[in-house]
Structure 1
Amino acid sequence: MKMKLYVVLLVLASSLTFAQGNQEKREKIKALKVAFLTEKLALTSEEAQKFWPIYNAFEEKQFEIRYKKLRGLGKQLEENNEEKISDKEALQLIAQFESYEDELHGLKKKFSKDLLTVLSPKKAILLKKYEDEFNRKLLRQMREGRN
């Protein structure tokens, strides 16, 4: 349940941020997230040097799957007029959705494994907690209209 909430919040926060099309805001949010996570995880300079490339690669690939691939399926459904979609087309979309979800799951497993090469297990699990905390704060600020 908590994982689903995290995904919804992340998608919502990211969608709102990216939908605005404001590169400066995205960069500001990214910088705030880097500072927040670095501080909360108490990353040493050595850990940070190894951690951030792994984290950034994961975030980019996750974005690609969620926003380019999964969102593309939604657009495809809209373009095909959801009222007129055939069962065969629907099954194809379902299979593609499952494939993308499997890809996302594999990416998360690889990320967890990679994290443990640079962070302690405690810091690796705390990363999830602090990401959630950052996303809640970001969402709250967005609701309040602060930038």
Structure 2
Amino acid sequence: MSLQRIHHTAIICSDYAASKRFYTEVLGLRIVAENLRTARQSWKLDLALPDGGQIELFSFPAPPERPSRPEACGLRHLAFTVSDLDACITHLQQHGVAVEPVRIDEFTGARYTFFADPDGLPLEMVEPASGR
């Protein structure tokens, strides 16, 4: 077996319109497809990532909340590589998104920060250290 890359990450949201706006207008992801799955009362929005991967955004009636954040068992956060962390932070703040203070990874030297989507899903932006 030889895994090549992540194909997609699936996210279930509580407010489809708010999450669609966040991922397309704030994060700037391109819509690949949008479908209403009538039998499941669910929207499915496929969003393109620059590396060819995708985010699948789902809506379901009354999805349960996550047990805790961020140290619950399971997926901890979704991280995006960026080339200019400061510009990305400014962009998010201009859209009313709260951003944590920038940290530096003690092992890699990468600068990074966390923010959240409309449902509080932890998201991270990482600016790799130059030369690494």
TM exceeding 0.5? no
TM-score by length of 1: 0.25
User: Higher helix proportion, which one?
Assistant: 1
User: Higher strand proportion, which one?
Assistant: 2
Query: Rg: which structure is higher?
Result: 1
